[in-house]
Amino acid sequence: MSLVTTKDLMLDAQKNHYAIGAFNAENMEMVQAIIAAAEELRAPVIVQTTPGTLKYASPAMFHAMVAAAASEASVPVVMHLDHGSSYELAMQAFRAGYTSVMIDGSHHVFEENIEITKSVVRACHAAGIPVEAELGKVGGKEDDLDGGNGNGYTVPSEAAEFAERTGVDSLAVAIGTAHGVYKGTPKLDMERLSEIRKVVSVPLVLHGTSGVPDDAVRECVARGMCKVNYATDLRIAFSKGLKEYLAKDPEVFDPKKYSAVGREYVKEYVKSKILVCGSNGKA
- The whole-angstrom separation of Cα 185 and Cα 250 is 35
* Euclidean distance between CA atoms 246 and 175, whole angstroms: 39
Task: Find the catalytic residue in 8, 82, 144, 189.
Answer: 82
Q: What is the dihedral of CA 58, 64, 67, 73, to 10 degrees?
A: -120
Helix or strand run (H / E) with residue 228:
strand 225-230
Is residue 194 part of an annotated ligand binding site? no
Residue 134 marked as a ligand binder: yes
Strand partners, 170: 132
Q: State the CB neighbour count (10 A cutoff) for residue 21.
A: 29
Q: Where are the alpha helices (DSSP H) in 72-145?
A: 87-96, 110-125
180 known member of a binding site: yes
Cα 125 to Cα 43, 115, 164, 171, 225: the distances in Å are 26, 15, 15, 16, 23
- Does 179 appear as a known binding residue? yes
Confirm whether residue 207 is marked as ligand binding: yes
Strands (E) located in 86-218: 100-103, 131-135, 139-142, 145-146, 170-173, 178-179, 204-206
Sign of CA dihedral 61, 63, 68, 73: positive
232 is in an annotated binding site: yes
Q: Is the dihedral of CA 121, 168, 1, 92 positive or negative?
A: positive
Is 26 part of any known ligand binding site?
Answer: no
Ligand-binding site membership of 231 (annotated): yes
Active site includes 8? no
Q: 84, 9, 1: which is closest to 44 by C-alpha?
A: 9
Would you name the residues annotated as active-site residues?
Answer: 82
* Residues annotated within a binding site for Zn(2+): 83, 104, 134, 179, 207
Can you say which residues are annotated as belonging to the binding site for dihydroxyacetone phosphate? 180, 208-210, 229-232
Binding positions are 83, 104, 134, 179-180, 207-210, 229-232
